[in-house]
Structure 1
Amino acid sequence: MSSSWVAIDFETANEHRGSPCAVGMTKVVGGHVADTWGTLIRPPAGLDHFNPFNVALHGIAPADVTGAPGWTTVLADIAAFADGLPLVAHNAGFDMSVIRSASDAEGIKWPELRYTCSQVVARRTWKLLTYSLPFCADAAGIAFTDHHDASADATAAAEVMLAAMRAAEMTSLDDLLNGHQIRWGWMAPTGEWLGSQYRGHGTGAREPLPGANPDADPDGALYGATVCLTGKLTSMTRDEAFHKLAEVGAQPAENVTKKTTILISASQTQLKPGDTLSGKAKKAQSLLDAGQDIEVLDEDEFLRRLLS
């Protein structure tokens, strides 16, 4: 039974998921934080440019990683700290894709590991307008002000998962996932992997939408979603965003309706608890209150979902 586990969080240098520049890890033993570890990372060659958007989020610049260890060394350190325990990440699809893509960039095999997602668990625990880490931490009653510091994010993800376990009155991840009908995710050195997702009654197959890429990964974070965009993105044009959404199997939409499942609030790079909502976000809140399955993403969370 998984009463011990390790939360992990990566920051990346740019829009490529194989460009880790920092990692933070928090070990949980017997329901309590027992140890933490983290390091800056020198991203793999060819993926080591720093995008201003990313730098603005986490504050890590090229000069900061000049003497940092490379991915091969860091992956060995990650494995040593985890010591065979399962991993937890908030939006684990993103963090696990960092491990796979950085390993591919360095020409090394993926590690063998088991993992789950505190964001997926949070959706089964609380009814929120957005499930980004700051909002989940707020719902869990956790003080959290250092979003995008990898070590702080890993600890916050650990605390969110612990709060969800307390809410469910369970002491092991296995029991919690079974209770919420969430499968474990895994990856293997053979190049095979499976995401950690909700598999409750009535979910069925996730069907692609008209105009979306029918060959997109059905386990992708945005697959099958009807997505509305409000405001202006800083990382790409509106047309580029709509194209990327279609590529991953989502359906772009101009207005928030009863079919909308995700609203991207591009007016804010990072949406924080207590922020003033836009008109469309307020409408999304009213639809959520009426029972609609709808979620608001800020630009940061949208980009991470694209890479998941």
Structure 2
Amino acid sequence: MSSWVAIDFETANEHRGSPCAVGMTKVVDGRVADTWGTLIQPPTGLSRFSPFNVSVHGITPADVASAPGWRAVLADIIVFADGLPLVAHNAGFDMSVVRAASEAEGMPWPELRYTCSQVVARRTWKLLSYSLPYCADAAGIAFADHHDAGADATAAAQVMLSAMQSAGSTSLDGLLRGHQIHWGWMTSAGEWSGSHYRGHGARKPLPGANPDADPDGALYGATVCLTGKLTSMTRDEAFHKLAEVGAQPTGNVTKKTDILVSASQTRLKPGDTLSGKAKKAQALLEASQDIEVLDEDEFLRRLHG
């Protein structure tokens, strides 16, 4: 399988069912062949635009006033994909948008097969952050329009192509097989499974975390440190949400820390000045600890992704 379609969504607010833009990039026989995208009018009841989301992607209610709704957009997505599998950077987020928006409109989920360029990037490069700008930088891709859905979809496609080249793979199936990553999927019967690396054993729940949290969640089993002031919620709210999804919040970066959320940098990019905690995380990474730094937007995308 050397043909697929990369996809990226932006949302109006923290609810996954509030898509306000989508971008898609089609790869055919290992080359970018076509692109498509549109603004989206979010489903009724989920159309509030939060100041934080607007600050990230710049899309406002006025921009989507005459845009098509989810029902029409999903039909166009299916037509453009034309039966090919999907690729997304942090696919847990983008596929949750498809499911939640469909549920908000009372529609069955589409039948989809997908994988994640972020999961592949973790098996390809050792980085301080696996957000899209860092992965694009590692892949040698010029990328300046992060959070433009079309630009993000194209960057995700190029990251995947670069990972294939690094692995000497001519197909997406071969790349995933070599990295022990299984395909994700969803069905119209309401069943789904994410795209994950199979090499690690099952992650263990942490003391004090929600024992009923989804073990396939992006933050499940992780020790998460926060630095700086979050824009979207208070620190106490963030700690509560982390515990709900099976993570353990902490105030300090230690050898047990898996993720540092650097809230003081809302758009972390390669070359940004790092905070003291982020510099400590960099030192731990260089000492072979698996630790990652997230900006606030990436943190929110993973919180329920």
- Shared fold by TM > 0.5? yes
Secondary structure of 1:53's aligned partner: helix
TM-score, normalised via structure 2 length: 0.99
Q: What does 1:120-269 align with in structure 2 at a 5 Å threshold? A: 120-200=119-199, 203-269=200-266
SS of residue paired to 2:216: coil
Matched letter for residue 275 of structure 1: D
Cross-structure match for 2:304: 307
Report SS of the residue matched to 1:37.
strand
Distance 1:103 1:142 in 2: 33
Amino acid in structure 1 at the alignment position of 2:63: D
Matched with 1:60 is: 59
Q: Partner residue of 2:285? A: 288
* Counterpart secondary structure, 1:221: coil
Aligned partners of 1:204, 1:34: CA distance in 2, in Å?
38
Aligned to 1:36: 35
Structure 2 equivalent of residue 110 of structure 1: 109
> Which deviations, in whole Å up to 9, do the C-alpha atoms of 1:59-101 show, x marking residues without a partner?
1100111111000000000000000000000000000000000
**For residue 5 of structure 2, what is the aligned residue in structure 1?**
6
| Contact persistence 2:245–2:304 (CA under 8 A) | no
SS of the residue aligned with 2:4? strand
Aligned to 2:294: 297
Are positions 1:272 and 2:253 aligned together?
no
Q: CA deviation at 1:205?
A: 1.5
Aligned residues between the structures: 305
> Take 1:58 and 1:299, find their aligned partners in 2: how far apart are those partners?
13
Please state whether the residue corresponding to 2:174 is helix, strand or coil.
helix
Q: How far off is 1:232 after superposition?
A: 0.7
* SS of equivalent to 2:237: helix
Q: Residues of 2 paired with 1:238 and 1:40: CA distance? A: 32
Distance, in Å, in 2 between the alignment partners of 1:77 and 1:300 is 27
Distance in 1 between residues matched to 2:260 and 2:58, nearest whole Å: 27
Quote the Cα distance in structure 1 between the aligned partners of 2:260 and 2:57.
24
Q: Distance in 1 between matches of 2:141 and 2:114?
A: 23
SS in structure 2 at match of 1:63: helix
Partner SS for 2:87: strand
- Residue identity matched to 1:98: V
Q: 2:94 maps to which residue? A: 95
SS of residue matched to 2:34: strand
Structure 1 segments (4+ residues) deviating >3 Å = none
Give yes or no for the alignment of 1:15 onto 2:46. Answer: no
Opposite residue 26 of structure 2, the aligned amino acid is: K
User: Mind listing any 5+ residue stretches in structure 1 that lack a counterpart?
Assistant: none
Q: Distance in 2 between matches of 1:212 and 1:45?
A: 34
1:46 pairs with 2:58: no
Give aligned-pair identity as a percent: 83
Contact 2:87 2:156 in 1 (8 A): yes
Per-residue CA deviations over 1:12-63 (Å, capped at 9, x if unaligned) read 0000000000000000011110000000000000000100110111111001
Given residue 88 of structure 2, which amino acid in structure 1 is its aligned partner? A
Structure 1 residue 307: deviation in Å?
2.5
Separation of aligned partners in 1, 2:34 and 2:151: 13
RMSD: 0.5
Query: Which amino acid is the alignment partner of residue 135 of structure 2?
Result: C
Matched residues in 2 for 1:154 and 1:52: separation?
24
